[in-house]
Amino acid sequence: MGLKFSYTLLAPIYDAIVASPTQSMRKASLQRLHQGLPQKVLINGIGTGLDIPFLPEQHHYTATDLTPAMLERCQLRVKQHDFEIELLTADVMQLPFADNQFDIVLMNLILAVVPEPLKALQEACRVVKPGGKIYIMDKFIKPGQFAPGRRFINIFIRHIATRTDVVFEYLLEQCPNLHLLQDKPAFMSDWFRLIDLQKLDS
């Protein structure tokens, strides 16, 4: 079963399952956008738009998701909040944007979801401007961490919802253009993390 199919089935119940447990780390994640001048922000894998109530209004937002059923719910949330955001059906592992387009790429619960997180990170790096930021909120295991439960459930859950075996450090090692600014625990001890990256001037 592909993720597009499973998220089509999950769309009607996604908010009921995810909104409440993620709310406080989501607020902390989006606090990172509450500073500075208006920016061009890309939100990758926006889902049903649970981020929207916490987004500051000064920026220009574009958002992607693979699953039309998730985006339909996001569109309703956009209307409810009278918010301006361009929504596109797109794959974060193959983004339909030219290089160096955005000041910020936000990746809340998407990098460790997709089958090839390295491709998704490389794509975020490609479309963000030199000096721009990539803000991540997701679950990772540490290099060498045994995490048998997470590695075991990954065998099943990766096909229907998310991977649980992604080692962020291994991804970063393969993206020499990205500099780590911050990496801090966000939820469930340090399973979920808030990670800030900056694209180096090349």
Ligand X SMILES: C[S@@+](CC[C@H](N)C(=O)[O-])C[C@H]1O[C@@H](n2cnc3c(N)ncnc32)[C@H](O)[C@@H]1O
Residue with tokens 């949330």: 77
Shortest distance (Å) from residue 147 CB to ligand X: 19
Tally of CB atoms within 10 A around 13: 9
- 1-30 binders of ligand X (CB under 6 A): 3, 7, 18
Under the binding rule (CB under 6 A), the answer on residue 121 touching ligand X is: no
Q: Which region among 32-40, 42-50, 53-61, 97-105 touches ligand X (by CB under 6 A)?
A: 42-50
Under the binding rule (CB under 6 A), the answer on residue 65 touching ligand X is: yes
Q: How far apart are CA 19 and CA 53, in angstroms?
A: 11
- Beta-carbon-side half-sphere exposure of residue 114 (alpha carbons within 13 Å): 23
For the chain, report the end-to-end CA distance as a whole number of angstroms: 40
Under the binding rule (CB under 6 A), the answer on residue 78 touching ligand X is: no
Under the binding rule (CB under 6 A), the answer on residue 124 touching ligand X is: no
Query: Binding string to ligand X for residues 134 to 153, with x set by CB under 6 A, is what?
Result: --------------------
Total chain residues near ligand X (CB under 6 A): 21
Q: Which helix (H) or strand (E) holds 129?
A: strand 128-139
Phi first, then psi, for residue 191 (nearest 5°) are -70, -50
Q: Which residues bind ligand X (CB under 6 A)?
A: 3, 7, 18, 45-47, 50, 64-67, 70, 91-93, 108-110, 113-114, 162
